[in-house]
């Protein structure tokens, strides 16, 4: 189906802003996405009509707010095609979801010397939680390399799996390279060795359809703010058999069945992992964001964003001195680049003056930057509200910056 981008853009109030007198061209969607009116208004509606603490109150408002939060859980369940809404845990985001699994899994399932496998294209949030566990529980971290196109190989992965491997945790779509990892094949291979898999879907659920039952993944995590929902809330999906087995991550209200000074017992799923007052306003607004995506159709979004990616890659490749990092044949709508010797920071600041928001720096993936041999890159990441005209403007603006820096066809990167 054809998406009417002009109409869609009207749903996003921030997009009609001007920056330094120029129309805003927002190409930092990998960092966070903009919010449609539907999501913004939903938050206002919850606060102005049903706000009350959930699960604990017998009163009318508390029941309405509880219903709203639990319906949101069902919306997420449907979006991921999970078996049961018990398998959906609300967290603060991708980072907290990974920390939860790293802590609960390593504490209960690993012994010193056991191995966790990640890839070298992980975001810091899928590296550091495991390093913390290395210090606490004595696990070892093994790293699958990436090739020059920004891909991992299943052969390399299989070579790393041993009898001590306890879990594989990898990113679905790289926030730097845009690579779409072959997660279905990774999971199949891991399961042949009885190893569970965690998928970091922070950069995938907003672009491509993810079916946790079809994938058979054991854990999957994402952040609401990267999928047009509010900040401060995210999701951990876990197979019931795993979540039942794992100990709580945090203690407090909601997560208990009974408490005494002698013995405390824990609540059933999903509440065992949701200590404290949950973000019921955030969950309700996240569900609204997922409904918004469903209305547009993820297939349509995917098709349009692929068109933008192909168009932008073609345009940027025509620029003298352009080097694109991440050239996998299976890519999502992210382009990381450098031009000549221009520092990523200079490029980002000058583009900003023209109204273009891009990301610069190491993108929370310093080990990957080291492998690429750069300190940082400029990253343009697209959403369905972006247009080909914006990409034309990006390309023209990059050329202007290159001219200022006297970049010629002979550059450090060609
Ligand atoms: N994983 C990936 C691939 C990401 O791109 C990000 C954020 O950029 C994260 C994890 C962390 O997400 P959050 O900061 O929302 O927890």
- Do residues 99 and 67 share a domain? yes
Angle formed by the axes of helices 280-296 and 60-80, to 10°?
40
**For residues 276 and 253, is the Cβ–Cβ distance under 8 A?**
yes
Count up the domains in the chain and report the number: 2
- 363 Cβ below 6 A of ligand 1: no
Residue closest to 138 by CA, chosen among 117, 160, 110? 110
**For residues 187 and 167, is the Cβ–Cβ distance under 8 A?**
no
- Do residues 96 and 232 share a domain? yes
Q: Which residues does residue 195 pair with via DSSP β-bridges, in sequence order?
A: none
- 99 Cβ below 6 A of ligand 1: no
- Do residues 15 and 50 share a domain? no
What ligand 1 atom has the least distance to the C-alpha of 364?
8
110 is catalytic: no
**Tokens 């007052």 sit on residue:** 277
Distance from the Cα of residue 164 to its chain's centroid:
28
- Do residues 258 and 303 share a domain? no
User: What is the residue-level pLDDT of the chain in tens, covering all 414 positions?
Assistant: 789 999 999 999 999 999 999 999 999 999 999 999 999 999 999 999 999 999 878 899 999 999 999 999 999 999 999 999 999 999 999 999 999 999 999 999 999 999 999 999 999 999 999 999 999 999 999 999 999 999 999 999 999 999 999 999 999 999 999 999 999 999 999 999 999 999 999 999 999 999 999 999 999 999 999 999 999 999 999 999 999 999 999 999 989 999 999 999 999 999 999 999 999 999 999 999 999 999 999 999 999 999 999 999 999 999 999 999 999 999 999 999 999 999 999 999 999 999 999 999 999 999 999 999 999 999 999 999 999 999 999 999 999 999 999 876 555 554
Residue closest to 177 by CA, chosen among 330, 384, 394? 330
- Do residues 187 and 322 share a domain? no
- 125 Cβ below 6 A of ligand 1: yes
- Do residues 11 and 59 share a domain? no
Domain edge (last residue) among 294, 320, 342: 294
Token readout for 45 is 């509606």
CATH code (residue 203): 3.40.640.10
Q: How far apart are CA 185 and CA 384, in angstroms?
A: 28
Token readout for 295 is 């209305």
CA of 122 to the centre of ligand 1 (A): 10
CA of 326 to the centre of ligand 1 (A): 18
Q: How far apart are CA 228 and CA 357, in angstroms?
A: 17
Structural domain boundaries enclosing 62: 39-294
What ligand 1 atom has the least distance to the C-alpha of 93?
16
What ligand 1 atom has the least distance to the C-alpha of 174?
3
CATH code (residue 406): 3.90.1150.10
- Do residues 89 and 177 share a domain? yes
Domain edge (last residue) among 268, 294, 320: 294
Write the CB contacts of 387 (distance below 8 Å, at least 6 apart in sequence). Answer: 5
Domain edge (last residue) among 253, 278, 294: 294
> Whole-prediction pTM value?
0.97
**For residues 215 and 187, is the Cβ–Cβ distance under 8 A?**
yes
């Amino acid at each position: 189906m054809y998406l009417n981008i002009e109409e869609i853009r009207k749903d996003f109030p921030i997009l009609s802003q001007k920056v330094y007198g120029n129309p805003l061209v927002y190409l930092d969607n990998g960092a966070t996405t903009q919010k449609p009116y539907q999501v913004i208004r939903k938050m206002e509606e919850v606060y102005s009509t049903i706000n009350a603490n959930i699960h604990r109150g017998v009163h009318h408002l508390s029941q309405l707010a509880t219903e709203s939060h639990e319906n949101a859980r069902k919306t997420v369940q449907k979006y991921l095609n999970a078996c049961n809404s018990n398998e959906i845990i609300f967290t603060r985001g991708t980072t907290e979801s990974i920390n939860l699994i790293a802590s609960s899994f390593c504490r209960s399932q690993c012994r010193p010397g056991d191995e966790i496998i990640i890839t070298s294209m992980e975001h810091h949030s899928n590296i550091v939680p495991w390093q913390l566990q290395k210090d606490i529980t004595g696990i070892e971290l093994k790293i699958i390399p990436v090739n020059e196109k920004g891909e991992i190989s299943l052969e390399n992965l299989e070579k790393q799996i041993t009898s001590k491997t306890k879990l594989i945790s990898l990113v679905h779509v790289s926030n730097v390279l845009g690579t779409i990892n072959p997660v279905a094949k990774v999971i199949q291979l891991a399961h042949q060795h009885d190893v569970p898999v965690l998928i970091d879907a922070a950069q995938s659920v907003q672009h491509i359809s993810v079916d946790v039952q079809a994938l058979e993944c054991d854990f999957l995590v994402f952040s609401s703010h990267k999928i047009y929902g509010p900040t401060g809330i995210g999701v951990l999906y876990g197979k019931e058999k795993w979540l039942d087995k794992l100990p709580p991550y945090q203690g407090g209200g909601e997560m208990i069945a009974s408490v005494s000074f002698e013995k405390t017992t824990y609540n059933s799923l999903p509440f065992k992992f949701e200590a404290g007052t949950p973000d019921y306003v955030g969950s309700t607004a996240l569900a609204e964001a997922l409904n918004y995506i469903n209305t547009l159709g993820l297939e349509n979004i995917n098709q349009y964003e692929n068109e933008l990616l192909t168009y932008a890659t073609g345009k940027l490749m025509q620029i003298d001195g352009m080097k694109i990092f991440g050239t996998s044949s299976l890519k999502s709508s992210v382009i990381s680049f450098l031009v000549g010797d221009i520092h990523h920071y200079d490029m980002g600041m000058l583009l900003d003056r023209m109204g273009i928001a891009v990301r610069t720096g190491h993108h929370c993936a310093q080990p990957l930057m080291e492998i690429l041999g750069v300190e940082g890159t400029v990253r343009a990441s697209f959403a369905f509200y972006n247009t080909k005209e914006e990409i034309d403007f990006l390309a023209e603006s990059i050329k202007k910056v290159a001219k200022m820096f006297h970049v010629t066809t002979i550059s450090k990167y060609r």
